[in-house]
Amino acid sequence: MQTVFLNGRGDFDEWRDAARVLLLSEVEPERIDWRRAGDGADLSGFAETPLPVPPAGRQAVAVPPAFLELAENIVCHSDPARFALLYRLLWRIRHDRALLQVVSDPDVIAARKLEKSVRRDSHKMKAFVRFKEVASDDPTGRRRSFISWFEPDHFIVARMAPFFRRRFFDMDWVIATPKGSAAWDGENLTVSDLPADKPNASDATDDLWRVYYANIFNPARLKVKAMTAEMPKKYWKNLPEAALIPDLIANAGAKVIEMAARAASQPPAFHARLQERMAEELADAAPPPEGLEALRHAASRCTLCPLHCHATQTVFGEGRVGASAMIVGEQPGDQEDLAGRPFVGPAGKLFDGVLSEVGLDRSSLYVTNAVKHFKYEPRGKRRIHQKPNQAEIEQCRWWLKQEVDLVQPKLIVAMGATAYFSLTGEKKRLTDVRGHILPMDQGRKLFVTVHPSFLLRIPEETRKASELSRFREEMAVVRQLVETGFPDYP
């Protein structure tokens, strides 16, 4: 039996050097007893035997890069059987280089399990190392000094030290653990595999951690099992904020009830008064511009709500004064925002197609939107449409009212719930008012239908065809109303 003693504290090179000699000497895995130095070396029958001398001229075995990466991780594990497992895999890989791809192989399963544990331990070290400031030895006073105590499951200090050097390059630090330590002084990174003593250190940032954690803790989303999986209790004793966790968990139920009781279902009362005052000040300070073009120019400089910050431009209405009907949509889309014109995107093309089918000339209409700026959420290179909120709609109602007063349409068509709310101030289900003619001020009529974008979002083809047919019928009614007035209509 070949007995091999290794220091076994995460040094990949020592295992690799021994494994290379044993492999070249054709020593079978079952003939090797891998041991850590100090684990039974003084017991009779466990003395280390010299490594054999490989036959002259025998070349080293090349292994896949994936095995080297796997081995570098597993060597850091604390399982005493890891060296035997790695050598067994190495022995088999000589004859089957694709062995690691066999996910059902017992040795591969065991190796992946050890690798996963080391990676998880490394991740936890990144997350839970807490530095505490200590007196600095820098005579210039430019560099601050810190110390930290962490208790890893495996020998990962040397593996993780370069990460902390990159992350905390501008300060001197020591990370002490029972499985070794690492230190950085601005020039040299020093790593030791000797166990370190736990330092007795604390600083003012401990209180900051506690304040931060207490404020981000959300009792309504508490899942104790998930929390302890991500933040195992073994780390709590070294985290200043962890002292708060038992009380936070115990009081979570009461906190949720308290949050629900004080949650605002509507904006505070003063919010509506502020909005009214702002609207009055706007009306007093800036009387409605004379003429549609003047109104368009004034709207191009609108900053009443935050939507103008990210939109490309104001997308004002389009059409002539005296148009018999005004079409009001929700808000500009991506293409409308870029072009500066309403209803020119996919929904606009569908709208134009239906107008053509029912014999309604778009040039005879005034087309606009309830909200004049594009609201969106960036996702990669795309801008995803977001529904405007009540405050944003309210701010734009002033512009829509000026358009109505200048165009003087006999009929207004509200396309969608946002347009209906902007024109009436009422929050009703669209299905309750769709297809109805409703009275407005100054003898105008309001006709309600869906927005063309609704039709584009319907995934089921049969329903889409049915809704499109209904929309076509409703636009035919609009044409009839424009041409003949307002006969009885449900």
Buried b (16+ CB within 10 A) or exposed e, 276-313: eeeeeeeeeeeeeeeebeebbebbeebebbebbeebeb
Strand pairing category for 437-439 and 445-449: antiparallel
Read off the pLDDT of residues 284-302 as tens digits, 9 standing for 90 and up.
545 566 789 999 999 999 9
Single out the residue of 318, 321, 327, 325 nearest to residue 411, CA to CA.
Answer: 325
Is the pLDDT assigned to residue 265 strictly greater than 80?
no
Is the pLDDT assigned to residue 277 strictly greater than 80?
no
Is the pLDDT assigned to residue 308 strictly greater than 70?
yes
Percentages (nearest 5) of helix, strand, coil residues in the chain: 50, 15, 40
Stretch 340-368: mean pLDDT, rounded?
94
Single out the residue of 436, 441, 410, 442 nearest to residue 425, CA to CA.
Answer: 441
| pLDDT score at 58 | 80
pLDDT band at residue 282 using 50, 70 and 90 as cut-offs? low
Strand pairing category for 132-134 and 145-149: antiparallel
pLDDT band at residue 67 using 50, 70 and 90 as cut-offs? very high
| pLDDT score at 42 | 47
Q: Look-up: residue for tokens 């949509």?
A: 329
pLDDT band at residue 41 using 50, 70 and 90 as cut-offs? very low
Stretch 249-265: mean pLDDT, rounded?
81
Read off the pLDDT of residues 125-141 as tens digits, 9 standing for 90 and up.
999 999 999 988 877 77
Stretch 415-444: mean pLDDT, rounded?
92
**Pair 32, 22: CB distance under 8 Å:** yes
Give percent of the chain above pLDDT 90: 67
pLDDT band at residue 486 using 50, 70 and 90 as cut-offs? low
Structure tokens at 133: 């400031």
Read off the pLDDT of residues 450-482 as tens digits, 9 standing for 90 and up.
999 999 999 999 999 999 999 999 999 999 998
| pLDDT score at 489 | 46
Is the pLDDT assigned to residue 259 strictly greater than 90?
no
Structure tokens at 370: 């309830």
SS3 168: coil
Stretch 295-313: mean pLDDT, rounded?
90
Give percent of the chain above pLDDT 70: 91
pLDDT band at residue 172 using 50, 70 and 90 as cut-offs? very high
Structure tokens at 460: 């089921």
Stretch 76-94: mean pLDDT, rounded?
95
